Amino acid sequence: MGVRLKKQPKIPSGTLWKVTLRLLLLLAIDGFVIWFAMSAFAEGYFQLGVVIALLGAGTNYVILAKDLYPIRWMLVGLVFMTMFAIWPILLTVFVAFTNYGDGHLLTKQQSIDLFLQERYLPEGGNAYTWTGYINENDEYALWLQNEDGESYLAYPGKPLIPAAEASGLGELDEDGIPASVGDYKRLNAIQVATNKEIVDVQFGTDLDGVRIRSAREAAQLEPKFEYDAEQDTLINHENGQIYTPVDGTWTSNKGDRLSFGFRAGVGFDNFTRFFKSSALRGPLFHIISWNFIFAFMSVFMTFSLGLIIAYIYNDRSLPGRKIIQSFLLIPYTIPSLITIIIWRGMFNNEYGVINRILESLFHIAPAWTVEPNLAKIAILIVNLWLGYPYFMLITSGALQAIPEDLYEAASIDGANGIQKFFRITLPMLLVSVGPLLVASFVYNFNNFNLIFLFIEGGPPIPNSPTRAGYTDILISYVYNFAFAAGRAKEYGLGAAITIIIFIIVAAITLFQFKYTRMWEEVGENA
């Protein structure tokens, strides 16, 4: 009696095709992730490599696990959110605790490798003027001439050949330089200037070898630095000094520092430097106080003007109100970059249309970009133009949501228009737009574009130890100090101050949201 085998279920061809396609796609993703992560590790970006590897592992798990099928539809969005939102935040926090910036962009090993490539001309070393030659196999040769008029032919890895013993020389020019050497053809000035490979070639042997030092000079150069791995020091053979790494900077016992160092952790030094540095503290009080005034006045002015316009045109019997409202929204439709540049031209002290009108009517021409208070007023006017359409829109919708019964009841109780506005309209309005007011304050607290594009933080504060202006806010001052003040760019310091600004803004936001809750209570009692 035979054994009956159970028939295996047949996999539908459509399902097999989907599985195959999914595995091929996953294989391509894994290949890209491995390449990206390995490249990041090789370049010294360890944190980025780890993040990429974790994202790759998570992608594999989501695609292969059956229980996570719904998340597959969000996978691309989650990956992009991690790379372009979460990762920059984590990177900023990490950089804030390092010395990352100009002179400290490399890893320690990259820094050592660069120093080991440096050469110097030791005492007693010979220097020559040189002429380059190349053959069909891209092999090089040099014709060397010293100050005594002696000439030599040099090949890589071979002893220098005196001119009298050299063979295959072409016709000599007036300087005694042959037109060719055997099958080697002479390089012209343009070929020499654009050729980068010849600089890395050593001509001659270790005893008499020369390297190209400049466009005209070749010399018996020796390695300038030697790295002692046991002592973790760089030894300068030219002056005998020994350099040890101190917070990512190669520093000698005499206090001398090499031109560039490497990325290293510095703990809370960037934060303490911000609070202790006299250069930073100088204009800081004025900048922070103006920062709060600018943000508050911007919100107050844009909200007030937007509310007034919305309140006026909330009357549906007003003729042509929709057309007028459409025209009033024009500032909101034009890119702010263009608007700011236009206003900058209008406020020009000499040629601006505003000063021309004022001069023709009142015979005055205010120095908008020179006098600090006028510069601040100009900035607030520009921000008013940019911001009022936004609040006009949101308050228009909020006003229409207020029940008419409240106004009718107030009229019966004998309330006038002002009492209705402050007892009903404003409290009910603040319940709806309160969070948006907080968001607007936060936005204007960091409104870098307006400050920088309109006047670059000017006019400058006299006798300030750092580049600072009367209209600078904290973010623009940090930008000037850390990145644009004609000095080394200090990304670590900039990241640290960014975190401090975030803490300040977060505290302000939490404080303001308490008042939002209070507005809600007032709205409930209205």
Last residue in a domain, options 40, 62, 96: 96
Q: What percent of the chain has pLDDT over 70?
A: 92
Note the pLDDT tens digit of each residue in 433-448.
888 888 899 899 999 9
307 lies in the same domain as 253: no
Q: Judge if 191 and 294 occupy the same domain.
A: no
Closest CA to 151 of 162, 142, 140: 162
State yes or no: pLDDT of 476 exceeds 80: yes
Residue 156: strand, helix, or coil: strand
Is residue 486 predicted with pLDDT exceeding 80?
no
pLDDT tens, position by position, 318-330: 787 788 888 888 8
Which residue range is the domain that position 514 belongs to? Answer: 279-525
Write down the pLDDT at residue 10: 52
For residue 459, say if its preceding peptide bond is cis, omega within 30 degrees of 0.
Answer: yes
> Which pLDDT score is estimated for 448?
93
User: Is it the case that residue 270 has pLDDT exceeding 80?
Assistant: yes
Burial string for 357-382 (b: 16+ CB within 10 Å, else e) reads eeeeeeeeebebbeebebbbebbbbb
φ/ψ of 195, rounded to 5, equals -95, 115
- β-strands 127-134, 140-145 pairing: antiparallel
Say what the pLDDT of residue 117 is.
86
Per-residue model confidence (pLDDT) at position 418: 86
Q: What pLDDT shows up at residue 121?
A: 86
The answer, yes or no, to whether residue 18 has pLDDT greater than 80, is no
Q: How far apart are CA 309 and CA 337, in angstroms?
A: 25
Residue 110 lies in a domain: yes
pLDDT at 1 > cutoff 50: no
Confidence of residue 64 (pLDDT cuts 50, 70, 90): confident
Residue 75 CA to residue 85 CA, distance in Å, equals 15
Are residues 378 and 517 both part of a single domain?
A: yes
Q: What angle do CA 335, 477, 48 make, to 5 degrees?
A: 80
pLDDT(335) > 50? yes
Lowest mean pLDDT: which of 35-44, 317-326, 464-473?
A: 317-326
Residue 415, both tokens: 């309330």
Average model confidence (pLDDT) across the chain? 86
Average the pLDDT over each of 125-134, 231-240, 398-407 and give the range with the smallest value.
Answer: 398-407
Cα→Cα distances 230→63, 77, 358, Å: 48, 48, 75
CA atoms within 13 A on the CB side of 404: 3
Q: Can you give the CATH number for the domain in which 462 is found?
A: 1.10.3720.10
In this prediction, residue 463 carries a pLDDT of 82
Task: Say what the pLDDT of residue 22 is.
Answer: 78
Overall average pLDDT of the 154-159 stretch: 92
pLDDT digits (tens, 9 = 90+) for 495-524: 898 898 888 888 887 877 676 665 555 455
Question: Is 240 found in the same domain as 210?
Answer: no
Instruction: Say if residue 273's pLDDT is above 80.
Output: yes
- pTM given for the model: 0.70
262: domain CATH number?
3.10.650.10
Q: Is the pLDDT of residue 103 over 60?
A: yes
What per-residue string of b and e applies to 313-345 under the rule 16 or more CB within 10 Å gives b?
beeeeeeeeeeebeebeebbeeebeebbeebbe
Instruction: Please check whether residues 372 and 434 belong to one and the same domain.
Output: yes
Check if the beta carbon of residue 226 is closer than 8 Å to that of residue 237.
yes
* Count: domains in the chain: 4
Q: Are 152 and 144 within 8 A, CB to CB?
A: yes
Same domain, 125 and 114: no
Residues 37 and 132 in one domain: no
Kindly state whether residue 273 falls inside one of the protein's structural domains. no
Residue 184 has pLDDT above 50, yes or no: yes
Could you tell me if residue 272 is inside a domain?
A: no
